[in-house]
Structure 1
């Protein structure tokens, strides 16, 4: 054989030995890395269903939790956390009172809601039975208070002037009119045994504080306006207080004689043209020629002919 043929034969032999070494030699016994970066052995592939036992049962042979074990552990942990939040109802007593705990929401709704069978309520329970929509009974009469205005005024008798609110009136001092005014405590003279003995020195002997006389009235003025001006002009004591609920000034005392000075039913009242209005003096708008009388009562108006049940504000 030529030198060239021997060289080719040796190259072939060396190539075969090299291939045999790499495929059947020590290289096949060395571990390699798979595409995930986790070291595995081709001779002993990683089991996919049964975890390798180790010191931590939740870890595989390489110390990393498997996907299945991780999901199972997470589900178990969530169940435990949810179970800790939910406590069975009615298992503890109130820590302050020692009584049974408050009912659950469902139990509370059941006890608070009316029965679907519309069972009549126990007469001693204080519950009100719902009206029967099919009943033909007449509704109860309206309460008397519903007939009053916002200032607690009963309906004004037919033919009598209705109240006028002070805030809605305009006084025209260019139009001077005339009314008659008087102030009397004559009823006290018949009830001296009930009168405050400390007030005897301010009680006129004839009971007249301001004798009847014609006085000036400006258009738009009320009974209160005229009384106030005349008491100031004649230097006669007068005390009053605004009562918002009646929208009127209440006369407490004239000439130092006050309400309750002649008993618990005593006080000042007024009448116009012989009628005791059922509303306060600040709401009565006077007209030319009216006769205004302020009188003291010792019996809630019965002794002067002016008893009015529920009247407010010197009526």
Structure 2
């Protein structure tokens, strides 16, 4: 019987330089899409997939993330005293249960693989999920929940994938596909940021992973890959023969909130979908046609 996915890693140590000056003093993961920070969307997605333990790999200047998921006594008592029940419920919803959250530091920016490796002792010997808050997925069934269903069927390492234009393969980890039924692809390899002419396919990984603990054995080597960084995709590729590897074409829309264009598009899309904002947002967009 396969072990259940109980733990999730959230790598949040990045500097967010593409959003300066907004991120000079505020973590990029705390930038809001409408009225909720990116990292809270990721945490809600993990909760909906059955995750019980939440591991944040942070860096200097990320205190706001810890505070956001903590209990704010002054705020809660003020809202309670003023009878602001709706706002009180919203604030309470972002609080994490005691004992479910852990924080560890990535002291040097050595890549995504290194960030995940920093959480190894908190994960221990069990499968786990990795969610990148920059990749925001709007879906009826949360992306990670779709992946957990697939993992329960096939096991091994499972990543969320999407087809990208060939000229964009240098931005992604790309699968070397063996079998593909249009939804689930079995891969024999994974290449990080290949040039378009060398890419084995156009099926590319976005920021959602379900991984086996064997990945940590490979990350222990601290081998530098593309860009001189320790790449998570390299560690996944090294374990394919041992544990297997599938890419799931998830149902939903992915927004690259690591770019300004993607961030703004996500804000508009999520606002349009809100009962309290949708009509007003459509009026605003009409004025700018």
Q: Which has the higher contact order (CA 8 A, sep 6+)?
A: 2
Structure with greater strand percent: 2
Q: Compare the two structures and name the one with the higher helix fraction.
A: 2
